[in-house]
Amino acid sequence: MLVIGVLIWSAVPGALDFEGSGPGQSENYYNLLVQGFRAGQLNVKRDPSPGLAQLPDPYDPAANKPYVWDERHFSHDMSYYKGKLYLYFGITPAVVLFWPYVTVTGHNLSDRNACVIFSVLGFAAAAALIYGIWRRYFPETGPWIAACGAAALGLAGGLLEILSSCEVYEVAISCGFAFAMMALAAIWRGLHESSRTIRWFALASLAYGLAVGARPSLLFGSIILLIAVAAVVHREWGRVSLWRCCLLIAAIVVPLSLVGSGLMLYNYLRFGSPFEFGWHYALTGINDVTAKQFSLGYLWFNFCFYFLELMRWTSHFPFLQVIVISPLPPGYAGIGEGQYCGIFCNYPVAWLALAAPLAWKGRPTEETATLRWFAAGVFLLFLMCAVTICLFVTSSSRYEEDFLPVLLLLAVIGLFGLERQVARSAFWRPLARAAWCAALMYSLVFNALATIDSHAATQYFVGNYFFNHGRMDLAIEYFDKASTLEPDSAGFHYSLANALSQAGRTDESLVQFQKALKIQPDYPEADNNLAFTLLRAGDVDGAIEYFQKASEVQESYQAFYNLGYAYRMKKMAFEAETNWQKAMELQPKFIPAQIDLSWMLATWPDAAARNGGRALDLIQNLDREVPNDPKILRALAAADAETGRFSEAIISAKRALAIAQARTQTTLVKKIQTEITLYQSNTPCRSFNN
Residue 119's nearest CA partner among 172, 186, 188, 187 is 172
Domain of residue 657, CATH code: 1.25.40
- CB-based contacts of 335: which residues, under 8 Å, 6+ apart? 305, 323, 324, 325, 394, 395, 396
Choose between 667 and 22: higher pLDDT.
Answer: 667
Would residue 681 count as lying in a domain? Answer: yes
* 491 vs 450: CA distance, rounded Å: 17
* 61 vs 417: CA distance, rounded Å: 52
Average pLDDT over residues 238-263: 92
Predicted confidence (pLDDT) at residue 28 exceeds the cutoff of 50: yes
Predicted confidence (pLDDT) at residue 350 exceeds the cutoff of 50: yes
Q: Which amino acid makes up residue 34?
A: V
- 601-659 confidence digits (pLDDT tens): 999 999 999 999 999 999 999 999 998 999 999 999 999 999 999 999 999 999 999 99
- 375-409 confidence digits (pLDDT tens): 999 999 999 999 999 999 999 888 999 999 999 99
pLDDT classification of 20: cutoffs 50, 70, 90: very low
Q: Is the Cα dihedral 387, 391, 392, 397 positive or negative?
A: positive
Average pLDDT over residues 291-317: 86
Residue 253 three-state SS: helix
Would residue 654 count as lying in a domain? Answer: yes
Residue 53's nearest CA partner among 37, 32, 75 is 75
Predicted confidence (pLDDT) at residue 412 exceeds the cutoff of 90: yes
Predicted confidence (pLDDT) at residue 25 exceeds the cutoff of 70: no
CB 529 within 8 A of CB 498: yes
CB 554 within 8 A of CB 581: no
Range of the domain at 673: 589-690
- CB-based contacts of 410: which residues, under 8 Å, 6+ apart? 353, 356, 375, 378, 379, 382
Average pLDDT over residues 186-199: 94
Quote the pLDDT of residue 418. Answer: 95
Would residue 425 count as lying in a domain? Answer: no
Average pLDDT over residues 520-529: 88
Predicted confidence (pLDDT) at residue 320 exceeds the cutoff of 80: no
As a three-state string, the secondary structure of 23-73 is CCCECCHHHHHHHHHHCCCCCCCCCCCHHHHCCCCCCCHHHHHHHHCCCCC
CB 215 within 8 A of CB 200: no
Which H/E stretch holds residue 85? strand 84-86
CB 181 within 8 A of CB 169: no
Degrees, nearest 5: CA angle 577-581-584: 140
Would residue 460 count as lying in a domain? Answer: no
502: left (phi over 0), alpha (psi -120 to 50) or beta: alpha
Would residue 439 count as lying in a domain? Answer: no
Show contacts of 624-627: CB within 8 Å, 24+ apart. 626/591
Distance of CA 652 to the CA centre of its chain: 49
- 562-573 confidence digits (pLDDT tens): 889 889 988 999
Quote the pLDDT of residue 22. Answer: 42
Quote the pLDDT of residue 341. Answer: 77
Would residue 385 count as lying in a domain? Answer: no
Q: How many structural domains does the chain have?
A: 1
Quote the pLDDT of residue 461. Answer: 83
* 365 vs 383: CA distance, rounded Å: 25
pLDDT classification of 18: cutoffs 50, 70, 90: low
DSSP 173-203: HHHHHHHHHHHHHHHHHHHH-GGGHHHHHHH
> Residue 397, CB half-sphere, CA atoms under 13 Å: how many?
28
Which H/E stretch holds residue 441? helix 428-468
- CB-based contacts of 441: which residues, under 8 Å, 6+ apart? none
Quote the pLDDT of residue 338. Answer: 60
DSSP 332-372: --EE-SS----HHHH-GGGGGGGGGGGGTTTS-HHHHHHHH
For the chain, give the mean pLDDT. 90
DSSP 110-151: -HHHHHHHHHHHHHHHHHHHHHHHHHHH-GGG-HHHHHHHHH
Choose between 555 and 462: higher pLDDT.
Answer: 462
Which H/E stretch holds residue 418? helix 404-422
Would residue 646 count as lying in a domain? Answer: yes
Q: Of the spans 310-324, 540-554, 592-606, which averages the highest pLDDT?
A: 592-606
Would residue 326 count as lying in a domain? Answer: no
